[in-house]
Amino acid sequence: MSFETSTFVPLALGFFGLGTGYLIYGPQEIFHWPKRDVAVDKSTGIWGIWMPGFCQLLTGIYLFVGLTWFQVFKDPPLYMAALAFSAYGIHWFALGFNRWQGSDPRPNAGMSVAFTLISVLGLVVFFKAGDWPVALLFCGLTAVYVSDFVHSIGVKAGERALGLFHIVTGLWLMYLTFATVLNLASGMHLPL
């Protein structure tokens, strides 16, 4: 059985989900708004599970299946995108659940090391592929995880840095969402 190559790569869903999560978590980290309490942690936890968690995991699985089983996607950097969306999605399930439960964030230090490395890997893959808009996303992701590490080990400024990089990267993800949809659905040619 053979399928035609599809131009409808599901990147926008993953970009939008992660961007939404970053725009929810970022203001709380940088401005302390809304002030964290049990109710806010439960709310942000649920948002973390469903938007960045589910949207990215779904996108990653869709990409892996399209690349391997059905071979409807042919662009090799999409393998990195599938890895990143899947790993980041699963990671957000854990982050969201931990937030919802009010768990100790200090173990995020070890997670931050692994996710810094996967972010640097994505940065290399997409810059090498000449896809600078997505490579810039991985620069933002690297900054997020470095600042998450700093925050997790107890450096107070780390939380504000994390919030700043969440907001900046979240806004860039919204641009990538718009560019992806407008390029595919409306025939525009925005950098992507």
Q: What pLDDT is stored for residue 145 in this prediction?
A: 98
DSSP 52: I
- As assigned by CATH, the class of the 11-179 domain is mainly alpha
- Asked whether the beta carbons of 164 and 105 are under 8 A apart, the reply is no
Two structure tokens written together for 111? 């997670």
Residue 1 clears pLDDT 80, i.e. is over it: no
CA 89 remoteness from chain centre: 7
pLDDT tens for 10-52 read 999 999 999 999 999 999 999 999 999 999 999 999 999 999 9
Q: Give mean pLDDT, residues 80-106.
A: 97
pTM (2 d.p.)? 0.96
Q: What pLDDT is stored for residue 152 in this prediction?
A: 96
Reported for 74-78, long-range contacts at CB under 8 A and 24+ positions apart, including other chains, are 74/5, 75/9, 76/129, 77/125, 77/126, 77/129, 77/131, 77/134, 78/9
| Percent of the chain residues past pLDDT 70, beyond the cut | 100
